[in-house]
Amino acid sequence: MILGAKQPAVSALTEVELVSAMARKVREKTLLKENANRVLREFQSHLKDMLFRRLPLERQHYDIAFTWLAQFSTPLRTLDALHLAVAAGNDLKMITADKQLSISGRKLGVPTVLL
């Protein structure tokens, strides 16, 4: 962690999506099961050691995501809208490698960093 930086945060949704992505890669045979398990163990170790702040998904996040999706003004999908809502609801910056998510976040007033 960079000195002076806030502690990185992840939501429960991030945890589940990571497992889902790993499972898909194992099924597609683009990632060995052993390597996926190693990554998941490492991630769980980071969570246990509190390297990430864990953010709960709450009713307000669903409400925010609903409102944004109902504007019909971005290509956001359900889970991306929820990720942004958690960031917005906790006054955090969203860090993503997804260009559309970054653009949508900025359009909705959520600070984003595109990797």
- pLDDT tens digits, 13-52: 999 999 999 999 999 999 999 999 999 999 999 999 999 9
Count CA atoms closer than 13 A to 99's CA, side-chain side. Answer: 0
The yes-or-no verdict on residue 3 having pLDDT over 50 is no
pLDDT of residue 93: 94
The yes-or-no verdict on residue 4 having pLDDT over 90 is no
Q: pLDDT grade, residue 2 (50/70/90)?
A: very low
pLDDT digits (tens, 9 = 90+) for 56-104: 999 999 999 999 999 999 999 999 999 999 999 999 999 999 999 999 9
| CB count in 10 Å sphere of residue 99 | 11
Burial class (CB in 10 A: 0-12, 13-18, 19+), 87: buried
pLDDT of residue 7: 84
| Among candidate residues 61, 65, 63, 64, the one with its CA nearest the CA of residue 12 | 61
pTM to 2 decimal places = 0.86
